[in-house]
Structure 1
Amino acid sequence: MTSMATAVQDYARALALLSPDHYRVGPFTVRHNPGWELKYANYAIPDRDAEPTADEVAALVDAFGAHRRLPRLEFLPAWAPAVEPALIAAGFTVENRAPLLACGHEDLRPPKPVDGLSIGTPVTEAEFTEAARVQHHGFGGEGEPEPGATDWLRAAATGDGVAALAVLDGAPAGVGGCSAAIDGLSELAGLAVAARHRRRGVGAALSAWLTERAFAQGCRTVWLEPGDADVERVYAGIGYRRIGEKVNISLEPSGG
């Protein structure tokens, strides 16, 4: 595991510990979002070099159940090599092994301009609602977003992070955010582009805008997890490079 990958895992765990509704179960820190059931907003991270017992894994599963959330973890396997085998033994399955990408201030490259595109920080309640709706639908959701989605964007925009709403041809086109920096690191997350505006350069422009704003706020490196290989190529085009690999692993309900 590279030093940058280690720093990213340290950051993710520190951010989870700072989240107001986190809780601890054995050697795990659980990031819980009471207003947002999205699985990506609720997950556990093991302590470094954790060697959980079967009872501790069972207690973690029970805790997720008590909070009405899918038992799920995100971490770098080399951070705690004994954890994945313990989870597999308990019935967990690997969702995917996702690359981690990072971009330093000197690496960021400008994307191709998109005619008619404007990007800014949401300010009004209507803008936060529109941004959350784009994000919700971009992640495959139906209907209206949960309150937690709007809360996440508002916290990023009004706190020490960054939030952005892209508008193209007068319509909301994309959304994303960067979390507050810790030791010069920030995570770019929650980026989604409305279906009708995809493959027009919105994602690259929005990512570059968010990354640049994070740098302007004192961040040295921004990291992220791309959704798939096509998305990774978009990020590579503006200067992001692979630094490691993360495992996303969960326990589906019996019979699910």
Structure 2
Amino acid sequence: MTNPMIDSTLSELERYYDTVPRVGGARAEDFGPLTLFVQEGAGWPYYARPALGGSDATAADVERVLARQRELGVPEAFEWVAETSPALRAAVEEAGLHVHAHPLMVLEDAQELPPHPEVRLLDAEDPLLAAALTVPALAFAAPGTALGETGPAELSAALADPSVETRRASVSAKLAAGTSGMAAAVRDGVVLCSGMFNPVGDIAEVVGVGTLPSARRQGLALGVTAALVAQARERGARTVFLSAGDDDVARIYARAGFRRVATALIAEPPAQAEA
């Protein structure tokens, strides 16, 4: 038996997923039941996903998109919602891709968490913006909630990568235009946790919340998420959602009022998944 409220929410999210790459500067290439989004210029690489209102994709459809991704030299990646496009998982697995599952959560509880004293919003000119963009990459390289060794020293080394400035300039432009928001937990001038939200109309997705492994289990991710939610609401977001890394991370977001409504799936080649 379906839940009309959840069905309505998932329909809203489908429209969001189809729109956000387009407003983020991506070109949409039509592959029948699939759409490939290709970033134009600097910015985050995008993915392929089910075409809005399209039919079920086959393994052959997936192979066509994979061939185009290889031709373009972009990541071989597909993203979709399991409950909305249930047949796609079998198709991408038949094409040889590995699938990751992530709890898809929507903010339900209106209760506001108290602000974390070390968390602040960042603007386009913030000198810590580059560090705030680098922290999640270090966090996601060691997924989960357990304490780890990666900390400020590794962050300092990672900031020397020339690609960091390209990403900083791209996100700075989005912050200046109001098409993204960013928050970070900062201690003694060092970014320990950060994340963003991307609004489209009255829907906003919280993305990339990550904590340096050495600074985990201090409530920093929850504080960053609360700050992002507050700013998104101030800007008119009616629906705020996110995809959690796993069930342990989902329990943290549940404390901020998020409730699981579905499962977000990401598919990529096995070698890419193990990297």
Q: Do the two structures share a fold, i.e. TM-score over 0.5?
A: yes
TM-score by length of 1: 0.84
Cα deviation for residue 58 of structure 1 reads 2.2
Task: Describe how 1:7-86 pairs up with structure 2 within 5 A.
Answer: 7-26=12-31, 27-33=33-39, 35=42, 41-47=45-51, 48-86=53-91
Cα deviation for residue 207 of structure 1 reads 0.2
The answer for the alignment partner of 2:125 in structure 1 is 124
The answer for the alignment partner of 1:213 in structure 2 is 231
Q: Secondary structure at the match of 1:180?
A: strand
Whole-Å Cα distance in 2 between the matches of residues 221 and 11 of structure 1?
11
Deviations 1:19-43 (A, max 9, x none): 3233314132223346467xxx431
Among 205, 216, 220, the alignment partner of 1:198 is: 216
CA RMSD of aligned residues (A): 2.6
The answer for the alignment partner of 1:99 in structure 2 is 103
Structure 1 residues 68 and 76 mapped into 2: Cα distance closer, same or farther (>3 Å)? Answer: same
Stretch moving more, 225-234 or 42-51 = 42-51
Stretch moving more, 240-249 or 154-163 = 154-163
The answer for the alignment partner of 2:190 in structure 1 is 171
Structure 1 residues 135 and 246 mapped into 2: Cα distance closer, same or farther (>3 Å)? Answer: closer
Structure 1 residues 152 and 3 mapped into 2: Cα distance closer, same or farther (>3 Å)? Answer: farther
Whole-Å Cα distance in 2 between the matches of residues 133 and 53 of structure 1?
37
Structure 2: runs of 5 or more not aligned: 1-5, 143-153
| Matching residue's letter, 1:28 | L
Count residues with an aligned counterpart: 247
What is the percent sequence identity of the aligned residues? 22
Matched, 1:248 2:249: no
| Matching residue's letter, 1:207 | T
Are 1:32 and 1:43, in contact at CA under 8 Å, matched by a contact in 2? yes
Among 110, 114, 134, the alignment partner of 2:113 is: 110
Are 1:11 and 1:185, in contact at CA under 8 Å, matched by a contact in 2? yes
Whole-Å Cα distance in 1 between the matches of residues 190 and 97 of structure 2?
41
| Matching residue's letter, 1:134 | V
Q: Secondary structure at the match of 1:164?
A: strand
Structure 1 residues 188 and 66 mapped into 2: Cα distance closer, same or farther (>3 Å)? Answer: same
